[in-house]
Amino acid sequence: MIVRPYGDTTGDGMVQVSFTLPIPHSKVAEGAAAQLAAKMGMDPAMVVHARPMGPGFTFFVVYGRVSHLVDTDAVEVVERDYPLLTPAEVNTAIRRSLRRRMVVVGACVGTDAHTVGIDAILNVKGFAGEKGLEYYREIKVVNLGAQVDVEQLLARAVEEGADAVLVSQVVTQRDAHLLHARQVAAAFAAAYPDGGRPLLVVGGPRFEESAAAGLGVDRVFGRGTTPGEVASFLADRVAARAELAR
């Protein structure tokens, strides 16, 4: 299907963008914002909001028309390739495939101190009306918290005999999230040279779900992930691994 953006009337092509320029707020700054928007293909481009951000920066919102069409048939997405299960079904699947509890070790690695996301997945109180992994009888959760070194994470995962390692990365400055995800993948690959490493799952609001293979991990979860999705994924993959080992 071919669509174009909608602002005031259907198909009018109106969009809104926001950005910051490293110049103090002035008429020239607003003109610069309009010039940038025009170069981005917005015509006409209206600066509808400009606000100083400290002495040397200005934040802008620009509203304007673009002429581009988008083709939804050309959009590529990572489809869910595992069934969504209830907690009872996850527990049953784990019991059947592992015949013991699944061990999940989670952490925010590097300097990242944003624990709300990993806690939303792991803590019993959960997220979006779903209980976290701690609620699942057949999952043992070891949540290491924030600012964990990759070596510490690896050592604990080995000590616990982890089936899965969950890594959260929220800060993306200078692509720190990608760097840390790759460091985790490399450390586990080195520690398990013959394969058999735990499932590696990374998550955070600015990851592309399609990035898993390039990062060397088994799955990437993005913004809005719910604990049930993660539990269902883990149950599915652990069952597949157990099947292979038989």
Contact positions toward ligand B12, by CB under 6 A?
A: 111-118, 120-121, 127, 166-168, 170-173, 201-205, 221, 223-225, 230
Q: Measured from the CB of residue 30, what is the shortest distance to ligand B12 in angstroms? A: 23
- Return the number of the residue (45 or 200) whose C-beta is nearest ligand B12: 200
Q: Measured from the CB of residue 98, what is the shortest distance to ligand B12 in angstroms? A: 20
Range 214-221, long-range pairs (CB < 8 A, 24+ positions): 215/178, 215/181, 215/182, 215/185, 216/181, 216/182, 216/185, 216/186, 216/189, 217/167, 217/181, 217/184, 217/185
How far is CA 77 from its chain centroid?
Answer: 14
Q: Measured from the CB of residue 146, what is the shortest distance to ligand B12 in angstroms? A: 7
**If we measure between CA atoms, which residue out of 117, 112, 71 comes closest to residue 226?**
117
Q: Measured from the CB of residue 244, what is the shortest distance to ligand B12 in angstroms? A: 23
Annotation says 131 is catalytic: no
Per-residue exposure over 8-38, b if at least 16 CB sit within 10 Å of its own CB, e if not: eeeeebbbebeeebeeebeeebbebbbebbe
- Return the number of the residue (14 or 133) whose C-beta is nearest ligand B12: 133
- Return the number of the residue (91 or 225) whose C-beta is nearest ligand B12: 225
The residue from 39, 125, 131, 140 that is catalytic is 125
- Return the number of the residue (127 or 135) whose C-beta is nearest ligand B12: 127
Q: Which residues are catalytic?
A: 125
